[in-house]
Amino acid sequence: MTDVSTQPVTLASLQQMKAQGEKIACLTCYDSSFTRVLEGAGVEVFIIGDSLGMVLKGYESTVPVTVADMIYHAADVARVGQSALRVVDMPFMSYASPDQALGNAARLMGEGGGHMVKLEGGADKAAVVERLVAHSIPVCGHIGLLPQSVHQLGGYKVQGRDEAGARALLEDARALEEAGAGLLVMECVPAGLATRISAAVGIPTIGIGAGPGCDGQVLVLYDMLGITPGRRPRFVRDFLRDSGSVAAAIEAYVAAVKDGSFPAAEHTY
């Protein structure tokens, strides 16, 4: 296993990585066993994602996931986590208003042990972000494809392909930063646009299907291990197939993110 530092990753250290051009390695994580393996491989940021609804609980989307589900799995990760920054998803309809968001975010951090919460949406969520940040709750934004809005979007589609859509995403990114978000996930965004957004905002950006120009990369853990059933999204690479073990696969993923070989052209839009 890779010899990595156990020094805790913070928003300040991620900001420094962005400034220095060092890529950030991020994966989803849902339990204590994988927490140890991922930290041992040098993963710097965990997203305790509502993707657990599909990969762990068997739902067709993230929509049925509850705050209680997120607290349960976040606490599993926090119980043994030592170094990675833990970002916990706020599930569907848990942040419809600033007051509701504040109560649920407080639980995700207090009971779930999160370091930061993540919510989907752009300028329309600025008031929610402002309320959370005002109460010392760090926020990660999420723009582009919004899995919680899949029924409204009409499926899992790349966002920002035309000029109007691209302009809207850029405005969303700036609005989230101005509201106080400290990190930004971009999902299924054309690579050129994601690069523009990463340069336009001062906060670190994490891409999933958003090309190599982001400050870091994230994949769903089960996707990059090749064990998620069904059709694999274009932006996913199966790292287990050529690695021989789970630990080696995760080390290979971290190395590929760091040296810029992932995502390659075939993983981008």
**In the chain, where the domains are located:** 11-260
Choice among 39, 44, 187, 251 that is catalytic = 187
Q: What's the average model confidence in pLDDT over 16-38? A: 98
Q: What pLDDT does 160 receive?
A: 82
Least confident span in 28-37, 70-79, 143-152, 234-243: 143-152
- Express each pLDDT in 58-104 by its tens digit: 999 999 999 999 999 999 999 999 999 999 999 999 999 999 999 99
CATH fold for domain 11-260: TIM Barrel (3.20.20)
% the chain with pLDDT above 90: 89
Predicted TM-score of the model (pTM): 0.95
- Express each pLDDT in 144-189 by its tens digit: 999 888 656 555 577 888 999 999 999 999 999 999 999 999 999 9
Q: Which long-range contacts (CB under 8 A, 24 or more apart) does 95-103 make?
A: 95/119, 95/125, 95/128, 97/128, 98/127, 98/128, 98/130, 98/131, 98/132, 99/131, 101/128, 101/131, 101/132, 102/131, 102/132, 102/135, 102/137
Instruction: Assess whether 187 carries a catalytic annotation.
Output: yes
Q: What pLDDT does 248 receive?
A: 98
Q: Which of 164, 167, 74, 174 is nearest to 118 (CA)?
A: 74
Q: Does the pLDDT value for residue 227 go beyond 60? A: yes
Q: Does the pLDDT value for residue 1 go beyond 80? A: no
| Rounded Cα distance, 133 and 169, in Å | 22
Assess contact for 262 and 256: CB atoms under 8 A. Answer: yes
Q: What's the average model confidence in pLDDT over 105-114? A: 98
